[in-house]
Structure 1
Amino acid sequence: MIASIPWRQSLGLRQAGVFYALLALLGILAALAASRGLPPYLAPANLGNIAYQASLVGIMAVAMTIMLITGAFDLSVASVAALAAAVLVGLAGQIGFVPALLCALCTAAMIGILNGVIVEFVGINAFIVTLGTLTAVRGLVLVVTDGRSLMVEDPQVLAQMLAFESARVPLFWPLLALGAVALAIATLRRAPAPALGGLGLLALAGLVGPRFTVAAPVVYLLLFTTAAWFVMERTVLGRRIQAVGGNAEAARLSGINVRAYRLGAFILSSLAAGFAGALFGSRLGAINPTAMQGAELTVIAAAILGGTSLYGGAGSVIKTVAGALILFTLTNGFNILNLGANYQGIIEGAVIIVAAAIYTLGNRKRGETR
């Protein structure tokens, strides 16, 4: 059973800093919008838009967090997502949406297996392997698309794809229910983390109101994050994954199949990327060869902002989602305030470096006090 974290430690910067940063960023942007006479920045529609923009990166970043916890690395996720989108869009008009979706996910899984086998059984560094597959899979996207944009022309199939990606889902009552459940768990177990989460969910439900709806990808992200959190924090499987990343040799000596867990992490990472790519392709029913280029850096940045260690053994999928929300809140704020895209990369890069420095110094200080 996982030991509960004391209240004071849970509310400290180390445990909750990413949430404080997200709230502070939202507050600053809301104040700037109000000072310029713009519509309320914290309007439910805009909050839903931020979550929608962050959903695809968030799905990939949650899987990337598990990957990083095992001590491995995957740079190929954006290329895998683009290939899955190309397979989906290219086949949907011929064999139907659902079979095409399965083909896209199987293609993504095969790349994950390939990455994992080369890393674990050949012994090549994961960074080098996935850097190579990043380039190779991007070339495969060019082959599949023949270097041009693809689109679905069948109206019935296109309607299915749009329903899969763009359906609106009411979120007010689920937020209330999840908040109540989290508070009940916190009361029974006297654990601070579920209580903080429950209060946050109830506050969000009160802010957005009963008519609030979100696009389907936001719901997919919530479900995936919840499942990943439960596995990582409340199951033997999750503890073994953390043990693999914390000390692979000790895990091996204790009977854990390290190679199997890391191979599974590669497959999960590619499957999540394939699913995100399928959502991307379904958004407009079209795909171009340069789709999602560079998104792998945003995925890794979200995990880093959430405090995931690049050395393995530590990370939180919930904090990773908060990290993704920070990145897309910055983008959204720049667009709404019309601050200019020239400075956006500079500020986002500085935020990532500062966050990494804070976590690094915090870990060093913690180690010196032991």
Structure 2
Amino acid sequence: MIELEIQGLSETREGLLIDVGRSVVASGFTLQRQRLTQDVNGVLLTMVVRGPERKQRALEAALDANERLLSFHTYPFEDGTAKPHYAAARTFARPPVAPAPVPVVETVAVAAAAAVPKQAAVAAVGAAAAVAVIAPEMAQAVVASVASPAPRVAPVAKLFADTPVLPSVPERVKPEVAPVVVGAPAPQEEEPEPEFVFYTPRAAAPAAAAVVADPYVEVVPLGPDEDAVEKVVPKLLNGYPQIFHCLHSLESSVAPGARESSLLLAGQRTGTWVFERDYKPSAKLSLEDAMERIGIPALRALADVEYVGGQLRIRNSPLCKEGGRSSCQFFIGYLEGLLGPLLASGSLSTFPLGCCSYGGDACVLAISE
């Protein structure tokens, strides 16, 4: 069994002991003593109860559920020692305050620098007698100040009697300064008036004409201009292999859409003529053999070429210049006319992979059967 001290705070006093006592009894505890005290914070309740230790939590839960209690604390009960209530208003003792000290006025006697006349002394004695009635100490101070003799001051002549006299210094004669004659200022020459200079305005240079870029026009491919090709073929055959000036003339004489197709036809006519002139009795060959035996030797008469892995590279093509105007169609037609009759398959497929006119270092053609 344990004994607990319950301290609680409530708003009202009526029926408080009955309501809290029911919660205590319902929790298995018995009431030993109680006390109610009115405080500025509310009603202070103190109870001492006794019951089993295992039911302490049940008691605290019942007190917490009681609506009459605003708050509560439980402590182990100690007999003989009164525990202060946790919710009681606190009072603090203040030490007594000492009264403010009364200011004391001190009188300082000032000695006179010269002898006081008799009339002043009589007046001072009379004033001291009047003050004696009010403050005897002040009267004594006044009388003492009048009675004390003033210190004597030595005459000035006696102070300087023993001082040696210095010989007088003759006054220094100031040298005369000759007056400086200032001549009249020289007349200033008048500046000639500036001559008027007339500037002929120059016309502003005309603004440079804006350069208008040619709009891109898509070229519609056309068929070859056979008449133009027939006119240039005799010149190609007669001037072979110096034929590129004739090809440039052909490019400029046909319509833009017919330029590439006309070059292709001119290349086919030139390649066929070279085959009939130099390689007609040859037997059928594979593509690789035809390129090594006939194609590369014939092309080297026109340009610097190299054939590797099915690709023909034409370096520094005389036909293809920078500007996006490729003329590789002539070499494609040239190979078709030269190697077409020699291949066992009877057909040659060639298409461009790159061109010098588009910024490449060489014109590259892919060749297959």
TM-score normalised by L of structure 2: 0.22
**Which structure has the highest helix share of the two?**
1
Give the alignment's TM-score, normalised by structure 1. Answer: 0.22
Higher strand share: 2
